[in-house]
Amino acid sequence: MELGPAVERWIPPGSFVAVGGMHMTAAPMSLVRELVRREVHIHRLLTSPSASLQADLLIGAGLVSEIVSPYVGFEHLGLAPCFRRAVEGGELRVLECDEGSITHALHAGAGGLPFIPCPPGVDLTDIPAMNPELYARAMDPFTGEEGWAVRALRPDVMLLACHEADEDGNVTLDRFPFTDRVMALASKRLLVQVERVVQTAQIAVRSPGMSIPGFLVSAVVVTPGGCHPTASPGGYEADEGWLREYLQVARDPEAFGEYLARTVVDVPEAAYLELVASRRAAADGATR
C-alpha cells in the first residue's frame, strides 16, 4: 500500500498509537514522518521501553497529548529535547511507567487479560502513585497480600519497522525483537514499513518463530531506507551525524520548526528517501 493512504486509512486522528523500535534501532520513521506531514493528532502515544526520535519528533510537532513510555532519550547522544521541553513546560501529559510493568501490560493486552500484577520492585518506587490511570492496588487471591497491578495495554494501532514482507503481508522480525512482537500482538491494527518485498517461501524458513503472520497486519508500506536516521538491522547503521544535528537544532523551538519543515513537512517521503540514499552513497564513497 502507498504510505499516505495507509496512514490516512488506519490511523484516525485521536488514536492510541504504539510505536516500535528501541533506542536508535528499527524505529518506523517513514510512518512517523507521514503522521507529521498529515498532522495526525495522537491522543496517547505508547513506546517500546526506550524510544528516541520516533517519540521526540511527534512530540516536537505538537501532535501528542499524552505519552506512556519508560524512556525517551538518545542514549549516549543525550536527552530528548522536544520531550524535555514539552514535559518541563507542562504541555505533555506523562503517564509515568516502567519497562517491566508495560511489558507485562502488553502481554495482558495481547492475551485478553484485563490487568496483570506488577513485577517486584515497582512497589518500592514513586512510579505507581503518580499514575492511577495505569496502576492500581490489587489483592493476590491466593495469599491475600496486596500489591500493585497494571491495566492491560491495547493500542488502536502499532507502527512497526521490519526488514522484509511478502505479498500476503507476512513479515520477518529477523533482528533483536525488543518488545515489538508483543506490542504487535496487543495492538488492534498493525502498520508495517519494510525495506523490501520478497517471495513467501523465504520468510518462515529464515526466521522461524520470529515472523509475524499476515492476518495480523493491516497494511505494509515499502520504504527502503525508511528507518533513517535510526538503524535498520540487516540494512544500515544509525546516522549519528544526522542525529547529533537534530539534537542541536531541536533545542530551540524556532530552529526545530524550520528543521521540521525542511526535512519532513515540505519533503514527500520518496524525496526524503532519495536524499538519504545519496547521502549514504556519498558516505560510503568517502570511506572507500
Q: How far is the CB of 101 from another protein (least distance, A)?
A: 8
Distance CA 192, CA 226 (A): 11
Least Cα distance to 263 among 5, 93, 7, 57 occurs for 57
Q: How far is the CB of 169 from another protein (least distance, A)?
A: 22
Distance CA 174, CA 211 (A): 7
Cβ-contact 231, 24 below 8 angstroms: yes
What residues contact residue 107 under an 8 Å CB cut-off, 6+ apart?
113, 116, 182, 186
Our CB check for another protein shows the closer of 14 and 176 to be: 176
CA 230 to chain centre: 12
Q: How far is the CB of 71 from another protein (least distance, A)?
A: 4
The angle, 0 to 180 degrees and rounded to 10, between the axes of the packed helices 53-60 and 253-260 is 100
Give the side-chain half-sphere CA count within 13 A for 96: 10
Our CB check for another protein shows the closer of 7 and 53 to be: 53
Strands 219-222 and 189-197: parallel
Our CB check for another protein shows the closer of 79 and 255 to be: 79
Our CB check for another protein shows the closer of 43 and 107 to be: 107
Q: How far is the CB of 30 from another protein (least distance, A)?
A: 19
Our CB check for another protein shows the closer of 80 and 191 to be: 80
Distance CA 40, CA 37 (A): 8
Give the side-chain half-sphere CA count within 13 A for 17: 28
Cβ-contact 19, 68 below 8 angstroms: no
Our CB check for another protein shows the closer of 186 and 194 to be: 186
Residues that bind another protein (CB under 8 A): 22-25, 48-50, 69-73, 75-76, 79-80, 83-84, 87-88, 90, 96, 98-101, 103-104, 107, 119-122, 124-127, 130, 175-179, 181-182, 231, 233, 237-238
Q: How far is the CB of 105 from another protein (least distance, A)?
A: 11
Strand partners, 135: 150
Our CB check for another protein shows the closer of 126 and 284 to be: 126
Q: How far is the CB of 124 from another protein (least distance, A)?
A: 4
Our CB check for another protein shows the closer of 29 and 40 to be: 29
CA 213 to chain centre: 20
Cβ-contact 151, 16 below 8 angstroms: no
- The residue assigned the cell 530528548 is 80
Q: How far is the CB of 8 from another protein (least distance, A)?
A: 31
Cβ-contact 149, 118 below 8 angstroms: yes
Q: How far is the CB of 161 from another protein (least distance, A)?
A: 13
